[in-house]
Amino acid sequence: MYPPLSSTTDWRAPLYRQRLPLLLPAFVLLALLVFGHQAMAHGVTDDDKAYLEQISGVHIVSFIYLGAKHMVTGYDHLLFLVGVIFFLYRLKDVGGYVTLFAVGHSITLLSGVLSSTHINPFLIDAIIGFSVVYKGLDNIGALKRVLGFQPDTRAAVLIFGLFHGFGLAAKLQELSLSRDGLVPNIISFNVGVEIGQMCALSMILIAMSFWRRSASFNRQAFNANVVLMICGFVLMGYQLTGYATSNA
Domain membership flag for residue 137: yes
Domain membership flag for residue 202: yes
Q: 111 with 227: CB under 8 angstroms?
A: no
Residue closest to 55 by CA, chosen among 185, 189, 168, 192: 185
Q: What residue numbers bound the domain in which 150 lies?
A: 44-242
Residue closest to 76 by CA, chosen among 177, 171, 173, 218: 171
Q: What is the count of structural domains for the chain?
A: 1
- Residue type for 176, please? S
Q: 87 with 138: CB under 8 angstroms?
A: no
Prediction pTM value: 0.80
> pLDDT per position in the chain (248 positions), as tens?
444 333 333 333 343 344 444 444 444 444 444 444 444 445 667 777 777 778 888 889 988 998 898 888 888 888 999 999 999 988 899 999 999 999 999 999 999 888 877 888 899 999 999 999 999 999 998 988 888 888 999 999 999 999 999 988 888 887 777 888 888 989 999 999 999 999 989 999 998 888 888 888 888 899 899 989 999 999 999 999 988 988 76
Domain membership flag for residue 35: no
